[in-house]
Chains A and B, each alone.
Chain A
Amino acid sequence: MNESLQKAVSELESHLPELERQRSSDTFANDLFEAAYYWCELGRWVLENNTKVNYPERVRGERELLVKLQEMLENKSPEEQQRYRPLLNIGSEMLRMVGTVQPHRDGHLGFLRVVRECFRFLQTDYSFSMVDEQPTSIRFSSGAVYVKLEHSRDPWSSCLFGPESPQTKHFSISDLLFLNRDERYRTLPEKLVLTTESEVEAWFKFLADIFRQYGRAALRNQPGVFERLAEAQAQRDREYRQRMERLHG
């Protein structure tokens, strides 16, 4: 497939310069440009073996866009139809190929395998269910509380939890540490670059250990626990603001 996909990407790319010239004066050309640009990205990610992307899901959304663009093209002049139809045909064929690429069962760099193992206790001990699984993220929910783990550059969003509600409030692992007066909240990294399976494993095992240690009340949605976490979060924010104001006025 790689050869035909590479060919499709190259062909689609060849349309981009012309579309780019026209897009400032032609809204349809702009729509085509933005769509084709992203489809080229999708194709390149497959060729680069990018394991972060859930290709079938991404393609589902793009197919809706493709249908919309095809419908719009039907109302264009015969000349425009002749000019743009090949592009949409290549796009359609490329999305078909990309849509067959299944995400790796273990996720990006083994993320899903690691999280399924490390956070199994959510299901066995707290009756959570896994409600969404992507190559770089997973979401558990008990109905009342959610826990979302993500392979991220940002420690804060790599582990979020909170009550399931329309106005969902997010809490992070540092809130849990701070609430429990665990000084490790001060030493959490500011950036994560987890580029190997062992780094992924080390980080999420660390998160799971903290959850096991301090997470019981939150995971069981005990009365008042999220209010206490919110207060802890607000207090940390106040301290942060004071520090920044002291440093930078």
Chain B
Amino acid sequence: MSGSCYTEGLSATATTLNQLSGTGILYDAAGNVTNDGNGNQPTYDAENRIATDAGVTYHYDADGVRIEKSSGTMYWPGTDGQTLAETNLAGAITEEYVYVNGSRIARVDRPGGSPPHYYFSDKLGSASVIASPTAVVQAQYYYYPYGGMQSSTGSDPNHYKFTGKERDSESGLDMFGARYYGSSLGRFMTPDWSSMPTAVPYADLSNPQSLNLYSYTKNNPTTLRDPNGHCDIDGEHHNWVWCAAHAVGLTYTRHETAENIRFGFNTPGLGYPTLYKNGRAVDWNKLSDEEVIQTATEYNDALREGRVVTMTPAAAAALTQWGWPGQQSYNEAKNLLNEPNTSQGTVDRRDLLGKVPTEDEAVKMIEDAGGKVERIEGGHAPGGVSPHENPHINYTTASGAKGTIDIQQ
């Protein structure tokens, strides 16, 4: 196999905490790199995020998303934490980004509305080629396995590089969301952390590399990518058990929960009610994820406490007053109306769980079950094929079977 082989110059020993020693790299008590031996001497805030480095101060929002660099950039993230736009400190837009399925595909420089710059990425999501709308290559990047820049061509100002993460020009570090990554070291600047107390966050005991809290993608950089510094989904930090369960659809992020709720309330026919707040119908698409969950929780609480009845009060009361002592027994009785029991595949019932329904009850139950009332009749004289000497209702079920149910005199 032909190709080039590169040797990176780092050679170091490590402590039992997997901190490098003898290379000029210094750590603070929390394990954060305070000097990377390459000129970076970052300081950290109380949450172990880099507060300053190379003369630039960083600010983060409540979710830990970096929103400002004092050197002149403000970031405007979307709901997934991806930067949708960048502005200068005065708020004037300088860049806008376009994503498809979570991948950055284009950038538009503002002001001026220049033609978009299109991003072509490798399988790890690293920006490899930036091109104009007429397919003129404006920049091309070649990376070492751990993200170091082997070479580049062109002069495009793009600063989203290895695995699509922003490479800070002032420090050369990559912003991975939860942590900063030093491609020259092939390591993160801070140890991995978890939102829950745990001995080794995100450890996978079948892979010893996962026990190294500074390692990038368990030291398998050509196959794996680290979306944001550890096992994060939708901006949430979870352990591997949770992630594995999520992969097969057993657990949901807050965003996914909100999406499920939106789906339920927005899909006609699923039976979700229209909710009103302050006299206006709730527009689920205009609420943030947290607002969606909060609204649905309020609704559930109200339902549980009996403050909201989504069916009419009369209908709800009827379920108990009509003699089926609860939702379950009502359902069981209603089910009998759909159950074929004759050679013609039809139902022919005198009662429902021992109770002969009234006309109103029977009509409601037939209609609830999706059937159609054909005729409400008095008793027929004896001697017919299917004698009904008592008042009864002829109906058809939702699937076209015909049925008869006696009703009270």
Contact = CB atoms under 8 A, between A and B. Distances in A.
Most central of B327, B381, B387 by chain A CB within 10 Å:
B327
A62 interface: yes
B233 to A, nearest CB: 17
Nearest to B267: A199
Given A38-B402, A172-B331, A186-B300, A244 B320 contact: yes
B400 A248 contact: no
Given A199-B269, A240-B327, A248 B321 contact: yes
Interface stretch (B34-42, B85-93, B163-171, B308-316): B308-316
Chain B interface, >50% SS class: loop
A34 B320 contact: no
Contact of B325 (A134, A203, A241): A241
Contact of A190 (B310, B342, B385): B310
Interface stretch (B71-79, B128-136, B366-374): B366-374
Contacts of B306: 243, 246-247
Interface residues of A, number: 69
A17 to B, nearest CB: 14
Contact of B385 (A65, A134, A160, A236): A65
6 contacts: A62-B344, A187-B296, A189-B271, A193-B270, A241-B325, A247-B317
Contacts of B332: 170
B345 interface: yes
B263 A202 contact: yes
B399 A136 contact: yes
A27 B380 contact: yes
Nearest to B369: A154
A152 interface: yes
A236 to B, nearest CB: 7
In the A-B complex, list the 10 residue pairs whose CB atoms are closest, starting with the nearest.
Answer: A189-B271, A61-B344, A193-B269, A53-B400, A248-B317, A237-B326, A191-B271, A153-B370, A27-B384, A156-B331
B250 A213 contact: yes
Interface residues of B, number: 60
Given A38-B402, A172-B331, A189-B264, A247 B269 contact: no
Contacts of A236: 327-328
Nearest to A25: B381
B344 A157 contact: no
A91 interface: no
Given A157-B369, A183-B300, A240-B327, A31 B385 contact: yes
A156 B368 CA distance: 11
B268 interface: yes
B272 interface: yes
Most central of B269, B325, B331, B386 by chain A CB within 10 Å:
B269
